[in-house]
Amino acid sequence: MNSKSIILVTGLLLHSWSSCWAAATIYSDGAFEEVDWEEVLMLRPPPDGSGNGSGSGTATQEADPLPTGAEDTIRQVHVIRDPDIAGADVSTRLFSLARDAVFNPSATGAISSVGLSLSGIQFGAGSGGTVEPALQQGDKLYVAAGQSLPEQVWTLKEFVGLTESDFVEPGLPDSHPDFSNTGDEITFGFSYVVSTPSEQTVERTAGFDNWKVTLSHGGIGTALISAGINDAWFEPATNGQGFFITALPDAGIVFLSWFTFDTERPPGNVSAELGDPGHRWLTAQGPYAGDTAFLDVYQTTGGVFDSAVPAPEVSDPIGTIVIVWQDCQHATLDYDLPAQDLTGTIQLVRIAPDNVALCEALIAE
């Protein structure tokens, strides 16, 4: 039994997929709107949890080119750390919380892992601040270890496989959220933090786009994903298109190659030296758990046949794929390519049954 729901709320897109054993929920926002987000300013808390330090922060939605070059609205974050005290952990942190990215573990299932990705850019000179995965549960705010953002070009920041022990209240390393099936509602987002050990004013401005959080939840059941699913898969109704899917257990990822075409046939006067001008080369990769794989989709362009020059270019993620296996011969693939406004479901079967026996043997282990 599988179910799928899609809810679109003022630019904030939520997809939820579930199966008998595991489920995934994805919250994403590729076009920031002020109504979808709220800010919470946190000044560096000492170990006892009381406030200390000072500073200010603001966040606004600004028109700015996406990493892909298309016009879009980004989230611009401006943080000032005032020169009042010195110390290695003195910081001013601005949380950005997505109002509709709310998950209730007690109603939907315990969270087993969290992944976050977003594109960031620093505006102006300096070493930049740090971007962190963040969430709010009850009246407490939590962050996971962040990544610095010194880059003055759009740069993808990714965090994968985060558990409740990875999230802490700033300044209170033993305080964690509750991801169990008795936990309260959780609102997800990110934070941008500016810190310095010296008594000086530090001012930073950063831009963020293509925010996405992926939750694995509801428990992990039968371990259907193994080397036994490695094969060519397709949907008979669209014969001539399909996928090569490979599970890499040591790396903990699934890799996919998608052989497909453009959304429309090219004009008749468009030709190609080799193959069809409408061919499209997409790949995807990401983590998996139990029967479900959570993949980011990439597009490769710019190369020529059997040559290293010019070097092909691989895009930033253009969307997501979630695959749920029902058994060793059937799977359901859901795709979301927001830039092209493409979403859909593909029912997959193997092209040949050669690996079915291996798949069933690995499950039996």
The amino acid present at 87, given as its one-letter code, is: G
Q: Where in the chain is the domain with CATH 2.40.128?
A: 227-364
The helix/strand count (H/E) of the chain reads as: 2, 23
Predicted pLDDT at 338: 81
pLDDT (mean) for 173-196 = 90
C-alpha span between 23 and 46 (Å, rounded): 38
Token digits for 56?
A: 């200010």
Is 247's pLDDT higher than 90?
Answer: yes
C-alpha span between 148 and 315 (Å, rounded): 22
Please count the CA atoms within 13 angstroms of the CA of 14 that sit on its side-chain side.
16
Contact 208, 202 (CB under 8 A): no
Is 119's pLDDT higher than 50?
Answer: yes
Separation of CA 358 from chain center = 32
More confident residue, 3 or 84: 84
The amino acid present at 312, given as its one-letter code, is: P
Calculate Rg over the CA atoms of the chain. 22
Is 2's pLDDT higher than 80?
Answer: no
Q: Where in the chain is the domain with CATH 2.60.120.260?
A: 3-217
More confident residue, 178 or 73: 178
pLDDT, tens digit, 9 for 90 and up, residues 325-360: 888 999 999 998 887 778 889 999 999 999 899 998
Grouping H, G, I as helix, E, B as strand and the rest as coil, residue 201 is coil
**CB burial readout 244-253, b (16+ within 10 A) else e:** ebebeeeeeb
Angle in degrees, CA 268, 271, 276, rounded to 5: 95
Non-local CB neighbours of 282 within 8 Å, separated by 6+ positions: 257, 258, 260, 297, 298, 299, 300
Closest CA to 81 of 175, 158, 195: 195
**Most confident range, picked from 6-15, 116-125, 312-321:** 116-125
Q: How does strand 23-29 pair with strand 202-217? A: antiparallel
H/E run at residue 58 = strand 55-65
Predicted pLDDT at 171: 81
Mean of the per-residue pLDDT values of the chain: 78
More confident residue, 2 or 188: 188
CATH 2.40.128 for domain 227-364: yes
Q: Which of 67-71, 198-202, 264-268, 308-312 has the lowest mean pLDDT?
A: 67-71
**CB burial readout 214-228, b (16+ within 10 A) else e:** bbbbbebeeebbbeb
Confidence of residue 245 (pLDDT cuts 50, 70, 90): very high
Q: Which CATH architecture has domain 3-217?
A: Sandwich (2.60)
Predicted pLDDT at 16: 37
In Å, how far are 89, 118, 173 from 53, measured between CA atoms?
Answer: 10, 28, 19
Closest CA to 211 of 123, 141, 316, 284: 316
pTM: 0.58
Is 122's pLDDT higher than 50?
Answer: yes
H/E run at residue 108 = helix 105-108
Predicted pLDDT at 49: 44
Phi/psi at 223 (5° precision):
-80, 75
pLDDT (mean) for 35-45 = 79
